[in-house]
Structure 1
Amino acid sequence: MGTWDVGPFDNDTAADFCDSLDEAPEGDRPRLVRDALARVLDADDPLDQHLAVEAVAAAALVAAQCPGGRPVTGSYGPDLPVPVLPADLRGTAVRVLDRVEAEPSELRDLWAETAMYPHWLWSLHLLRKVLTFPAPQPVARSWARIDAWMQRHAPASYALLAPPADPAEVESAQEAMGVRFPTDLLESLACHDGITEWAKLLPDEPPMSVAGILEHWRACVEFAEEEPDYAAPDGDQEPWWHPQWIPWAQSHGDSQIIDMREGPGRGRLGNAAHDDVGCFDAGWPSLAVYLTAVADALDHGGKVDGVVPYLTRDGGLWWAVPQTTELNGAPLTPAPRAEP
Structure 2
Amino acid sequence: MGTWDVGPFDNDTAADFCASLDEAADADRPGLVRDALVRVLDADDPLDQHLAVEAVAAAALVTAQCPGGRPVTSAYGPDLPVPALPADLRAIAVRALDRVQAEPSELRGLWAETDRYPYWLHGLQLLRRVLTFPAPQPVARSWARIDTWMQRHAPACHALLAPPADPAEVEAAQEAMGLRFPTDLLESLACHDGITKWATLLPGRPPMSVAGILGHWQMCVEIDGDEPDLTEVDGYDEPWWHPLWIPWAQSDGDSQVIDMREGPGQGRLGDAAHDDTGHFDDGWPCLSTYLTAVADAFDHGTAVDGRVPFLTSKGGLWWDRPGVTELNGEPLGPAPTTRTTPSPSRP
TM-score (norm 1): 0.98
Q: How far apart are the structure 1 equivalents of 2:305 and 2:224?
A: 28
Aligned to 1:147: 147
Distance of 1:212 and 1:220 partners within structure 2: 12
2:98 corresponding residue in structure 1: 98
Q: List structure 1 runs of 4+ shifted beyond 2 angstroms.
A: none
Residue matched to 2:138: 138
Contact between 2:230 and 2:241, CA under 8 Å: does it hold in 1?
no
Correspondences of 1:249-264 after superposition (within 5 Å)? 249-264=249-264
Q: For each residue in 1:58-100, what CA deviation from the matched residue of structure 2 results, as whole angstroms up to 9, or x when unmatched?
A: 0000011011111111211111100000001011000000100
In structure 1, what residue type is equivalent to 2:81? P
Distance (whole Å) between structure 1 residues aligned to residue 169 and residue 269 of structure 2: 23
Task: Compute the displacement of 1:152 (Å).
Answer: 0.7
Query: What is the number of residues matched between the two proteins?
Result: 340
- Give the structure 2 partner of residue 197 of structure 1: 197
> Which amino acid counterpart does residue 323 of structure 1 have in structure 2?
G
Report which stretch shifted further, 323-332 or 147-156: 323-332
Structure 1 unaligned runs (5+)?
none
- Matches of 1:21 and 1:65 in 2, distance apart? 16
Is contact 1:156-1:314 (8 Å) kept?
no
**CA deviation vs aligned residue, 1:232-268 (integer Å, no higher than 9, x gap):** 2123511111101000000001110101111100111
Counterpart for residue 28 of structure 1:
28
Whole-Å separation in 2 of the counterparts to 1:313 and 1:156 = 13
Partner of 1:327: 327
Match of 2:309 in 1: 309
Counterpart of 1:83 in structure 2 is 83
Secondary structure of the residue aligned to 2:215 is helix
Matched letter for residue 145 of structure 1: R
Q: Report the AA paired with residue 119 of structure 2.
A: H
**1:175-194 residue pairs with structure 2 within 5 A?**
175-194=175-194
SS of the residue corresponding to residue 115 of structure 1 reads coil
| Residues in 2 aligned to 1:100 and 1:165: alpha-carbon distance in whole angstroms | 47
How does the TM-score come out when normalised to structure 2?
0.96
| In 1, Cα distance between equivalents of 2:239 and 2:262 | 16
Question: What's the counterpart of residue 164 of structure 1?
Answer: 164
1:123 counterpart residue number:
123
Amino acid at match of 2:274: H
Q: Deviations along 1:72-129, whole A, 9 cap, x unmatched?
A: 1121111110000000101100000010010010011111111121111111111111
Rounded to whole Å, the distance in 1 between the matches of 2:153 and 2:12 is 53
Question: Taking every aligned residue pair, what percent have the same amino acid on both sides?
Answer: 79
Give SS of 2:100's match.
helix
Paired amino acid for 1:54 = E
**How far 1:231 sits from its partner (Å)?**
3.8
The answer to whether the 8 A contact 2:68-2:130 is kept is yes
Counterpart AA for 1:174: Q
Cα distance between partner residues in 1 of 2:15 and 2:275: 37
The aligned residue for residue 4 of structure 1 is 4
SS at match of 1:291: helix
- Aligned-CA RMSD value: 1.0
Which amino acid letter does the alignment assign opposite residue 60 of structure 2?
Answer: A
What are the ranges of 5 or more consecutive residues in structure 2 without an aligned counterpart? none
SS at match of 2:190: helix
Task: Check conservation: 2:240, 2:277, Cα contact below 8 A.
Answer: yes
